Amino acid sequence: MAERQTASDQESHAHQVPLPAPTEGPAAGPAVESSPHPARYLHDRRLHPAQRRALARAAGRLHGNRRLQRMLAARIQRTALADLPEAERRRIQVVTAQVTLSDLHSLFSTEVATTTVPLPTGATADFSGEIPDSLRRGLSSVAGRLIQTRALSLNTTTTVALNLTAYGGDASAYRFTYVERTPAGGEASRQVLIERLGATGAEGLTEPQQQAQQARFTQHGFTRTGGWPEAESAALLEAVALLPDAMLTPVDGLTFARQARHPTDPQAAGSYDPSTHTVTVYNRAFAASLARFGTPGALSSPAARAVVHEISHAIDLLPLRQAWARLETEEQALRTAFQEYEDPPGSNRYTFPSSEQARYNRLNQRITAAERALTQARAASGERWEEVAGQHEMVEGGTAAGSNAFRRAAEQDGGVRVTAYSDREWQEYYAEAFSLYITDPTVLRQLRPRVYAYFVAHNPR
């Protein structure tokens, strides 16, 4: 339950210290002094990261204690996702679920008693230096609310768009990362990193940009079915705009269908059917959400990311679709050539004179080769065809992490998949990682650098 807190009680999240004179040059902030003791300034959020590191070294030297120096450095340098050690970043997943805040005003308003949502016991909030003190209590409560509603769980990160102009801020993207810290030589702790990434500015495509992307949409043979309201169609074009032609051309001819919900999975935002080369997008993709992906100037909506996710399935499964198409072509060639000998019609059984045996053997050998190629084909995610009860089905296949290039990259990143949804199977891990590579490449590079490098090598932007 949220407790009420008055303005006089709001100083618990701000650690105020007197500051020495600032240094000159681009590294704005307090100067590094040897006296008073450097440790005095270690928790001041206005310090530049380089200055904090210098202070930590100075404090360690003065104490003559290398262990203290390591502990201080581990504590003070981590106010941003990028500052965390790789071992800690490898455990973090990106939140892709809907994010809402129905009580934003009560968390920031000072007109009346303000709602304060505490962080979990033992957790602390650390703010990037550009966040003013006046917003920190409210942002800490936002983090508390996200954790309370399970929109943010331990070792996850999410970026949200918050309009704080009414409270002395602006409309900006803020990243919240809830992480378990395990510094060398120190005790494990839980920390919420709150970063202001920058002003959101105008989001979505302008009308001329939409027209340009509609032209690309048509150029690639894409079509819509099922009724697309204007705002949803704009989100579809936003997704198309994120992908270069080199990625779209191999999946030319995609159909984008619109339905209310998935028939068996109510949590699905979309689906891709390789048999019809159709992406279907559901209502859930367009649910109201504060979540964003990327950085200011290049922010993507959850709907755009969901569409990119489904397009990536088409890209991933292309080798399997091509192998299946080859097999169907060869089988059709035999049926066409020996149609007059099929008995009964439609049975795939042929009675023909011996003079046709050589031609039949050649066509049948081509079918055999196509079947062999079908079983050898692999999607980028490792998906493959297998014969199950006399029918060919796409399956995950061998689940060994190192069984192909993508899975090896994932294994090298530590084995924790980049989103909770990607835990379902390798094909979903590929699609989730691909969608972040397109919509939030910096975060993918920070959290899963080997997977990011895989996409750079195989799907250059």
| Sequence-separated contacts (24+) of 43-46 with Cβ below 8 Å | 43/15, 43/17, 43/76, 44/15, 44/17, 44/19, 45/15, 45/79, 45/126, 45/127, 45/128, 45/129, 45/131, 46/19, 46/129
Lowest-confidence range among 7-21, 102-116, 311-325, 426-440? 7-21
pLDDT in tens, 84-110: 999 999 999 999 999 999 889 999 987
Q: How confident is the model at residue 162 (pLDDT cuts 50, 70, 90)?
A: very high
pLDDT at position 75 over 70: no
Parse the chain into domains and list their residue ranges.
3-16+81-199, 318-378
Residue 68: the pLDDT is: 55
CA-CA-CA-CA torsion sign (135, 103, 301, 429): positive
User: Is the model more confident about 23 or about 289?
Assistant: 289
pLDDT in tens, 369-401: 999 999 999 999 999 999 888 888 999 877 666
Residue 8: the pLDDT is: 34
Q: Give the chain's mean pLDDT.
A: 86
pLDDT in tens, 28-40: 333 333 344 555 4
Report pTM.
Answer: 0.82
Biggest alpha carbon–alpha carbon distance for the chain: 103
Of 44, 3, 10, 47, nearest in space to 138 by CA: 10
pLDDT (average), residues 239-264: 97
pLDDT in tens, 400-414: 666 789 999 999 999
Q: How confident is the model at residue 44 (pLDDT cuts 50, 70, 90)?
A: low
pLDDT in tens, 50-74: 655 666 666 555 555 655 555 555 4
